[in-house]
Amino acid sequence: MGPSGSGKSTLLYTVSGMNGMTAGEVIFCGRNLGNLKEKELARLRLNEMGFIFQQMYMLKNLTVLDNIILPACQSDKIRESRKETARRGCDLMHKLGIIEIADNEISEVSGGQLQRACICRSMINQPGMIFADEPTGALNRAASKEVMEELTKINGEGTTIMLVTHDVRVAAKCGRVLYIVDGNIKGEYNLGQYKSREELRDREKTLNNWLLELGW
């Protein structure tokens, strides 16, 4: 978290290897990203990382399901037939409650459904970590709540998530919050793992008070 222009997205893109480093190092799965060539970085991102953005980048000439399974068709991590890949894609869509839009075009679904499809796509190659840059920024409150519920489930099942957000309600579901100002970490707050909706209001209040102390 942090004000606009503070370096949140830059940090996320650097940790994921999409931006080059000017100093320091990023160790991901035991590998120093700064020492990898672009093709090696691209393969690592494809196989071991998932990405969710505020703008839901999808190919308009493909169905929702085909967009979801496209990364798996490009990957050499999981060797399977296209039929098996499609089945896994459908399983993910079932899990996130959007299987009914599998054969729809991108223009035929709601923003909340499309973002959940983006979550499915981010998971199709079974990544160790998902990077999410304002994943709820373009959604209404109800859709934002649905998407965050899904992300917290994924996190609870063992997938690490690094998330950029301006929304205290979203951040309150995270275990650890970093507050960044002008490229520097100004503060850190450990909320612990989010377990139930009953505790959410207290988490939001606690986090909001901490942010206000830092100048939010």
- Helical residues (DSSP H) of the chain, grouped into ranges: 8-15, 38-48, 64-74, 82-95, 111-123, 141-156, 168-171, 200-213
Contact 54, 144 (CB under 8 A): no
Q: Tokens 């967009």 sit at which residue?
A: 67
What is the reported pLDDT for 51? Answer: 96
pTM: 0.92
Give pLDDT tens digits for 26-63: 999 899 999 999 999 999 999 999 999 888 889 999 99
The average pLDDT across 200-210 equals: 96
Cα separation, 45 vs 102, in Å, equals: 25
Strand partners, 87: none
Mean pLDDT of the chain: 93
What is the reported pLDDT for 147? Answer: 87
What is the reported pLDDT for 99? Answer: 97
Contact 121, 88 (CB under 8 A): no
Quick one: angle between helices 64-74 and 82-95, nearest 10?
130
Domain 8-213 in CATH 3.40.50.300: yes
Contact 117, 64 (CB under 8 A): yes
The average pLDDT across 68-90 equals: 93
Give pLDDT tens digits for 141-194: 888 888 888 899 899 899 999 999 999 999 999 999 999 999 999 999 999 989
What is the reported pLDDT for 196? Answer: 86
98: exposed, middle or buried (Cβ count in 10 Å: 0-12, 13-18, 19+): buried
Give, in order, the Cα–Cα distances in Å from 117 to each of 2, 15, 65, 93: 27, 24, 8, 7
Split at pLDDT 50, 70, 90, the class of 101 is very high
Give, in order, the Cα–Cα distances in Å from 138 to each of 71, 77, 144: 23, 32, 9
Task: Give domain limits for the chain.
Answer: 8-213
